[in-house]
A = this chain, B = another copy of it.
């Protein structure tokens, strides 16, 4: 299965077969990371640059580890120290960095669309590591991969249901998971207060809810989103006590879901806000495995874009 894509900006144009091929490659990478020597020479001589205009240590380190585990060189570019502060245009900044002979950029930016713009300006591959509220495809991939590997004899995404609860409005994680899981044949239920649930997302295989009961019904995967405390003061949210009462994921609430349902969270967690601490540490929780799958999933993405398509 050859993947024909030059970039991973979102999942537009990616077929279910290509996405499943990414998961198969992830299986191989996960095995590499089980060895004593967790390193392969697959990307020797390639240079991967992280280009983070918005700070995120964990995502950046996860990509850098994924690159180094395949023997690629890594350039860390944080926008804080750059000439952008001197008034240089984004385009001129990228041209300058591009002169470092980078093969692939991992881009994060607070504004939606920046990675797409960069893809037009460089010959290098681009991986979107989060742009505004728009997309965060590798997070969605690691979520779906975690789901796939949580059930022995997993028989595919068709007929499965993912429930996502919380601040859908501001969440690129929700958008990318919606795009990915529906492409793979699953259905998705999104749930949150009216102010945080954008109606324009409506599409086939998606349902929108304000209450947990219909959201969780039949769901095999249940994901709580981080509640950004800074939204609380903006009038977008009810009181914290009310939010907890209506939307907090707890062991009791999980009785509404499929008996085998797993619990996910993209992190960082507010324990006992959007998710109870005991549920986060319970056997249903695959949160640690989500994090652990970050490196092999990103290894598979880097490998596929740089080498695997040839």
Contacts and interface: CB of A to CB of B under 8 A. Distances in A.
Given A61-B100, A65-B100, A44 B37 contact: yes
A83 B268 contact: yes
A204 interface: no
Interface in A58-111: 58, 61-62, 64-65, 68-69, 73, 75, 77, 81-83, 86-89, 92-93, 95-101
A295 B99 contact: yes
Count of chain copies: 3
Given A38-B47, A57-B81, A82-B57, A62 B99 contact: yes
A99 B294 contact: yes
B39 A45 contact: yes
A292 interface: yes
A203 interface: no
A113 B88 CA distance: 29
Interface residues of A, number: 50
A47 B73 CA distance: 15
A259 interface: no
Contacts of A97: 58, 61
A206 interface: no
Contacts of A156: none
Contacts of A62: 99-100
Contacts of A291: 95-96, 98-99
A17 interface: no
Interface of A: 33, 35-39, 44-47, 55, 57-58, 61-62, 64-65, 68-69, 73, 75, 77, 81-83, 86-89, 92-93, 95-101, 229, 267-271, 288, 291-295
Would you list the 4 A-B pairs with minimal beta carbon distance, nearest first?
Answer: A37-B45, A99-B291, A88-B268, A83-B268
